[in-house]
Structure 1
Amino acid sequence: MMTIKQVSDLTGVSVRTLQYYDEIGLLKPSDTTAAGYRLYNKASLETLQQILFFKELDFPLKDIKAIMQNPQFDRLKALRDQRKLIQAKADRLGNLLGLIDRLLKGEEDMSFKEFDMTEYFSALEDFKETHLDEIVTYWGSMEKFDEMFETMKEKESEIGQLAIKQYGSIEKYTKAMKQNLMDFKGTMDRMNSLMDSSKDYVAKNTELHKKLTSDRRKDPSSAEIQSIVKELMDLMRDTLNGIDMGDNYWNLVLEGYTTDKAVREATDRIYGEGASTFLANAYKTYLEKHQLI
């Protein structure tokens, strides 16, 4: 057994962080002394080690907890997946360091291959090799997965542009995808649940938008209007159920209501003239107040 101070000294993780992991149920001590001091055994250290691997891959603590506490969590499989993802990260950083070194030497190098979708497609290739059963379960056959994969490669440029626009960078887009792959079954279950509830979601969403735009003379920043916006946000959050939509997702929503001619015309046609501008102002007020943009 090791005390929390000994674990901190061994791992470099602060005592306060270890205490916080205990508080949120991520890493519980294996025992406590009569005086209430935390004690950790070998199994606890292995769990902590696994947590640190996930953190190195920039997984949020809530996702780490969900993955590791899943009854189907397989430690060895997770280690193999983590090794591949960390290797891909190391390779990419190595390429970037090489590019920086060449530039520091005064060489002219207009290479942009370090910023392409290679890491994204590499992670999908690794996933294909290690998740045959899950691919067949959710895609129907390996052939259908391969067709999807080839289509994505053909549209690499469009996917890359969308990734940068919605997630801020290809790296962040790839990170979100890797997190989904690490908990693939959970991700697919959430997506299937989203599809199953799509009719109810559309009906509720439409109802709230009609309520929101019923009197467009009202102040979009008023408590009444903002309360309806909150209902819409809660509905969307619950429906997405933890799916990472990217840092710029809400900016794109606002952009649609303000600059996308097709979105504005459709919105005004459904909810009345000026609805797109009213919705943009209402959403913008809420998103800025809650620091979501």
Structure 2
Amino acid sequence: SVNNSGGSIKKYAEIVKMNLNNDILMTKAEQMKQFKKDSLNDNHPKLRNLYKELTADLNKNPYSEEIQQIAGEITHIAKNDYEVFKNNMGDDYWYSMVQLYLLFPDWIQEVDKKYGSGASKFIGKALKIYLGDYEPRLETLYKKLTGDLSKDPLSKEIQEIVSEIVDETQKQNEALKVEVGENFWSYQADQYLSEPILIKAIDKKYGDGSSKFIGEALKYYAENNK
């Protein structure tokens, strides 16, 4: 039983460690949530006015100078007033935020309810144009991974892309001071294989069947790189 107690202490330490790291991720999530809340409610008067102005006429061209100027001001406020968009990963988070307006049904519905049908996609498009060609390296890698779904997710070529994804994620986690447990990737794989909301969003983004493809590729990686 002496052994046991040692084991359970180690287990306890691991749980504590996981929760500590979750705090950092949670903080980022909380900060994103705050920005989302302020974008929908009227907590940040300047933001509220900018969104109103941006969505006043959804027939306008999102590329137009007028719309791009507003998109620029929103981006500027986000990066000035919200911690999550300030650090060296700030642009990655901002990119994710912009994707929300374009891809996530619940968010799109809320934004459209407030600013009119089609408003969310319009905002997303305007902000995306303002962002220019910026794309986080991880995003580029996931696109590469799902570029041809007829390939074998267990093949050497695909597994090499997965290992780049793992390295890049590791780098980000270090920047955020997050340590992920050893089961992180098999957990991720399960999410891609079985979480309906995620599957729907990923398939919409990278093509039908891509969530399953990513899941299988990650699962194989996790099992063979213990």
State the TM-score, normalizing by the size of structure 2.
0.44
Structure index of larger Rg: 1
State the TM-score, normalizing by the size of structure 1.
0.35
Larger RCO, structure (CA 8 Å, separation 6 or more): 2
